[in-house]
Amino acid sequence: MTLRVLGVDPGLTRCGIGVVDVERNRRATMVAVGVVGTSPEETLDQRLLVIALAIDDWLDRYEPHVLAVERVFSQLNVSTVMGVAQASGVVIAAAARRGIPVALHTPSEVKAAVTGSGTSNKDAVTKLVTKILRLDAPPRPADAADALALAITHAWRAGSGAAVATTGPGSSSLTPAQRAWADAEAKARRAR
């Protein structure tokens, strides 16, 4: 069975959106990628409306099994984080309205899943996303690559969990990326 994940890197100015199909053997294929942009000169309600209509359109068009969104953190500056949180609220509610499950992943979980290290930089994530999805060129801007990385992360996380369960006790069958992901996940759980 193929899992279709719609990943969203939320933001008011640029909202990255990516759809990925992932097979049981972890092979991931890009279905679509894009960025929804809104101008800071628009009012907040009009900016959120553009994002709401765009996410509705993507959910209707690609019918993902699950929505993966970046868990919003506070390391950004305050005014930025507000907009990111408001955009993520709109995106999450749009999926919930359709009964589509929503998964949240931290940036370090995403980095760990895709690159094998929770502290990789954005360039490394873009590079690995390009390789994993067998793309001719890196997805641009970075928000688009991040959205695809989120989608891959979620599918591999769900998939690796299943793999661990079927291969019995121990984690010796995990790839380095899966181990890094498991570590990042455990860390995120402890932090909650």
Q: Which residues are known to be catalytic?
A: 9, 70, 143
Edge-to-edge strands of the sheet including 102-105? Answer: 28-37, 14-22, 3-9, 66-70, 102-105
The neighbour count for residue 122, using CB atoms within 10 Å, is 14
Q: For residue 164, state whether it binds a second copy (rule: CB under 8 A).
A: no
From the list 45-53, 138-146, 147-155, 161-169, the region that binds a second copy by CB under 8 A is 45-53
Q: For residue 171, state whether it binds a second copy (rule: CB under 8 A).
A: no
Task: Give the ranges where 4-106 is alpha helix by DSSP (H).
Answer: 44-62, 78-97
145 contacts 138 by C-beta, under 8 angstroms: yes
Rule CB under 8 A: choose which of 13, 31, 65, 102 binds a second copy: 102
Q: How far is the CB of 150 from a second copy (least distance, A)?
A: 15
Q: For residue 36, state whether it binds a second copy (rule: CB under 8 A).
A: no
Phi, then psi, of 32 in degrees rounded to 5: -165, 155
Q: How far is the CB of 46 from a second copy (least distance, A)?
A: 7
Matching residue, tokens 């998964």: 103
Q: How far is the CB of 186 from a second copy (least distance, A)?
A: 20
Q: How far is the CB of 43 from a second copy (least distance, A)?
A: 7
Matching residue, tokens 């990326």: 177
Q: For residue 120, state whether it binds a second copy (rule: CB under 8 A).
A: no
Q: Which is nearer to a second copy, 71 or 179 (CB)?
A: 71
Q: For residue 93, state whether it binds a second copy (rule: CB under 8 A).
A: yes
Q: For residue 44, state whether it binds a second copy (rule: CB under 8 A).
A: yes
Q: For residue 124, state whether it binds a second copy (rule: CB under 8 A).
A: no
106 contacts 190 by C-beta, under 8 angstroms: no
Please provide the distance, in angstroms rounded to a whole number, between the alpha carbons at the two ends of the chain: 32
Closest CA to 146 of 128, 117, 125, 130: 125
Rounded to a whole number, what is the largest CA-CA distance in the chain?
A: 55
From the list 19-27, 46-54, 117-125, 149-157, the region that binds a second copy by CB under 8 A is 46-54
- Applying the rule CB under 8 A, the residues between 49 and 88 that interact with a second copy are 49, 51-53, 72, 74, 78, 81-82, 85-88
